[in-house]
Chains A and B, each alone.
Chain A
Amino acid sequence: MQQLVFAVATMVAGVLGCAAYFWGTSFLLDLIFPSKGRSGIEGSRNLRITNAIRPWLFLAPALFALTIYLIYPVIMSVWFSVHDRGGQNFVGASNYVWMLNDGEFRQSIFNNFLWLLVVPALATFFGLVIAALTDRIWWGNIAKTLIFMPMAISFVGAAVIWKFIYDYRAEGTEQIGLLNAIVVAFGGDPQAWITLPFWNNFFLMAILVWIQTGFAMVILSAALRGIPEETVEAAVIDGANGWQIFFKIMVPQIWGTIAVVWTTITILVLKVFDIVLAMTNGQWQSQVLANLMFDWMFRGGGDFGRGAAIAVVIMVLVIPIMVWNIRNAAKEMKGH
């Protein structure tokens, strides 16, 4: 309780501090370069100066935080990746060489590749199908809310939920995990799903698909509603059936949105860490880059060089999407 009071007090102080900063600097600026009531050259000169300075006053705290928490670390991670475990001695590319020869790293790259193939594809596919289906029924909004709900659940919470589904009891005893109960009901043998090498990756992916489908559904549903009615009507008149209308008329019109959904989930997949940590912690050949990186940060007192090198690999994988996003945003701005 005490710490909550402390938190609220700090928060109030922080908010007041921010407000005081923005108000105070604005006030000072007007005091030093007064433009109101000044006439002629001096007034307009002061107005010009204040107009040039004020944006930077508004931006300063944000730029400061972005620099410290994102830009500086990106540069420093690259720097750490060519230094030894404590960050003292330059070691050249040896962290990267170690990486390429490390079986666990190659396993992680392979698994990440699987994740990248499967999760965005399945989440987008389910999202699209659900968006299209729920638009046609009266209780569609309720269905959407329920499918959207896992989005609010933490990866760790979701991991517990699904670990319970994958729970395994020895053959012959009653299964309390849903999946094994179904398998047994159909006459199969119960399996310890998350310990099956290779296949366990897919059982972990199911969790992320479960979480992300709602996101894809919400965005694609809005895009589907934005499709002009006339195009669909024209297709109906031409005698197209439901499948043709959906795949040949509607889907091509929302390719842009599908791409955005796909890339957003792709970024998320590259960073996935909590699920693997909670489910297997990388055992049984289910390691991924983000968890491997976390592992090296603390393993044996922490190897910052190797950890940073793995982080840099994740960053490099993200860069194409980053460039694509920036281009799109620039196009968008010109359109305004």
Chain B
Amino acid sequence: MNPATRSPLTWAVHLSVLLLVALWTLPTAGLLISSLRDKDQLAVSGWWTALSTSTQNIVARAPGADTQVERDGKFVISGDVLEGTAAGEVSAFGFSSQKPTAFKAGETAELNDGEKLTVQADGSFEIVSDTKMEGSRGQRIFFTAAVPPRFTFDNYVEVLSAEGIGASFINSLTVAIPSTIIPILIAAFAAYALAWMPFPGRAILIAVVVGLLVVPLQMSLIPLLKLYNGVGAFFGVPAKTYVGIWLAHTGFGLPLAIYLLRNYMAGLPREIMESARVDGASDFDIFVKIILPLSFPALASFAIFQFLWTWNDLLVAIVFLGAGQDELVLTGRLVNLLGSRGGNWEILTASAFITIIVPLIVFFSLQRYLVRGLLAGSVKGG
């Protein structure tokens, strides 16, 4: 290839990768940006317009007749239509829903009953009448306002307190941490036995573990639900407990844990173990003092997988922990919000971001272990 032909090709590669990266990151970026926007703006304009000033049609109601003051022989009600809104400047206004933008800011509109309405660009308005006004319901004022972009943490404050996301966050942590630690310990011992201790039936056991790797979770749900109900009834305890879900996640995570760790341990040099054995170390000593420290990368890989999987899981959580308000994990809460608050994107985007922030932190800080684990778990099979 000569430089003249290489250059456009290289540009094409750069451009297509840029396009693909944009495709893969924009959805998440849109979510993050939206969750930080003012909810009134979020509802009427796309997140890609977040930085530009938008126009918004708003309805305000003037105070009732009891607030009128007499001035120069006329009766005046005054106020500020922008009060309580995020809008910055009024461009047009009107007094009927048919013609909400009939008048420019600063003009005076003649109302049906002889009153005069003036709305200034800064939002202040006056209703002036020659006679004393009556009625407790104030005049409706329609106006179009330019709204400067506004970013806020209000959405987060709301979902964390009012929508139960905060409580669910704790629930998710409660589920995920023990569900990550317990299987590692159990699997490490089993993996060592399968990698370095000769015994009859070892090859078959390894084959069974490989087979169990792909057993669909769906197969386990009904029998385990029955079993849990039976155990719960027998001991007089609730069937849906944290201990139950920790053990369930442990069981479901074990095949991958054993498989990953066994592959890794089997690759450790035999000489280390043999020299330790010559020195009189028992299997237990060898495992604890030599194998475990050496296997740290594999342990870390599995721990990340298992944490991501248990944190992100929905199915196991709603079946074995329940879908009540107190025990919902983040994913379950999010599904509920999708149902009940389907149109309230300020709530959905903020909630979704809270559920994905922990996995994202884990992902970005420990990515290299994740990649290593993926490679160990998959390429070997080929």
Contact = CB atoms under 8 A, between A and B. Distances in A.
Query: Do A and B come together as binding partners?
Result: yes
B252 A69 contact: yes
B374 A69 contact: no
B249 to A, nearest CB: 9
Contacts of B199: 52, 55-56
Given A147-B21, A218-B374, A256-B382, A4 B212 contact: no
A284 interface: no
Interface in B145-202: 170-171, 173-174, 177-178, 181-182, 185-187, 189-190, 192-194, 197-199, 202
A70 B349 CA distance: 36
A160 B17 contact: no
Contact of B174 (A3, A56, A210, A256): A3
Interface stretch (A58-66, A92-100, A105-113): A58-66
Interface residues of B, number: 117
A229 B203 CA distance: 36
A223 to B, nearest CB: 7
A263 to B, nearest CB: 8
Contacts of B379: 219, 222-223, 257, 260
A20 to B, nearest CB: 11
B17 A148 contact: no
B219 A73 contact: yes
B103 interface: no
B13 A133 contact: yes
Interface in A10-29: 10-11, 14-15, 18-19, 22-23, 26
Contacts of A177: 46
A57 to B, nearest CB: 8
Interface stretch (B37-45, B64-72, B87-95): B37-45
Interface stretch (A38-46, A151-159, A195-203): A151-159
Contacts, number: 355
A73 B248 CA distance: 12
A102 interface: no
Nearest to B54: A174
Given A150-B28, A164-B31, A219-B375, A70 B251 contact: yes
B371 interface: yes
B254, B314, B360, most chain A CB atoms within 10 A: B314
A138 B213 CA distance: 37
B338 interface: yes
A325 B251 contact: no
B193 A332 contact: no
B278 interface: no
A155, A163, A257, A311, most chain B CB atoms within 10 A: A311
Interface of B: 9-10, 13-14, 16-17, 20-21, 24-28, 30-31, 34, 42-48, 170-171, 173-174, 177-178, 181-182, 185-187, 189-190, 192-194, 197-199, 202-203, 205-227, 242-243, 246-248, 250-252, 254-255, 258, 266, 280, 282-284, 287, 308, 311-315, 319, 331, 334-335, 338, 345, 348-349, 351-352, 355-356, 359-360, 362-364, 367, 370-371, 374-375, 378-382
5 contacts: A152-B308, A153-B360, A160-B334, A181-B48, A333-B206
Given A62-B186, A145-B367, A160-B334, 5 more contacts: A18-B185, A70-B255, A264-B378, A322-B215, A325-B213
Interface of A: 1, 3-4, 6-8, 10-11, 14-15, 18-19, 22-23, 26, 30, 36, 51-52, 54-56, 58-59, 61-63, 65-66, 68-74, 76-77, 80, 87, 126, 129-130, 133-134, 136-137, 140, 143, 145-157, 159-165, 167, 174-178, 181, 210, 213-215, 218-219, 222-223, 242, 256-257, 259-261, 264, 267, 270-271, 273-274, 277-278, 290, 293-294, 297, 304, 307-308, 310-312, 314-315, 318, 321-322, 325-326, 328-330, 332-333, 336
